[in-house]
Copies of this chain bind each other. A is one copy, B any other.
């Protein structure tokens, strides 16, 4: 996001802050940020503060930052929304905070994972817009539009439900698939020799960072459990078809899955 804001001329100066000294250094080296400051100085010098850290840390940091802001706008980009919305409900400066979720990411994290042209043509979500000051919302909307994103408005509960279905479950299936195959590899060391594009695309998310994902799974636990139960029962249908050699029904299951063509091109 820092790369894009610079490129589009939206930010003239980017101040970085990261708990990890190595990441601070790397972000400077890569030109993602112009300088590193400590939090009070960084906040004082900024008009917009973007929090992009694991959601459990956001819960702790965002209220503290909000205590410190004056006219600045504070936004986050975390993958769960209900929790943070509830945490900040009664905060006297709630209006300065805009909670968002840009739907772009990769399995990589840290400064070296920054990619030029990220976000373009993707969706971003702004949650509970009515709880934020209108100038704060406007700034964030302009930011996302200039990144080339289209904006969806949702309440936090709807966001978390939808994210469980189209993002969080994909990560769980990838992690579980990686574990399935790695388990077998103990007996069969040549197992990956045949791995090709299809395997790669279904397991690439399994490289994702636990520091980021455990808190997401914690905070969206109930929705994810619902989806996971549904997913296991869908897998059991395939299992039952194979066990009973019911290939007519297996074909139906696949034909139904093919309807995803409507959604992803």
A227 touches B175 (CB 8 A): no
A225 to B162 Cα, complex, angstroms: 31
A167 CA to B204 CA, complexed, in Å: 14
A108-130 with Cβ < 8 A to chain B: 122-123, 125
Residues of chain B contacted by A229 (CB below 8 angstroms): 239
Chain B proximity mask over A165-181: 1 for CB below 8 Å, otherwise 0: 11101111111111111
25 A–B pairs (Cβ distance < 8 Å), ordered by A: A103-B196, A123-B196, A163-B194, A165-B184, A165-B188, A167-B194, A172-B238, A173-B173, A175-B257, A179-B237, A179-B256, A180-B234, A181-B260, A182-B257, A183-B234, A184-B230, A195-B263, A201-B202, A206-B258, A210-B250, A210-B251, A210-B254, A214-B247, A231-B235, A235-B235
**Which residues in A have some Cβ–Cβ distance to B below 8 Å?**
101, 103-107, 122-123, 125, 152, 154, 158-159, 161-163, 165-167, 169-184, 188, 190-210, 213-214, 217-218, 221, 224-225, 227-232, 234-239, 242-243, 245, 247, 250-251, 253-261, 263-264
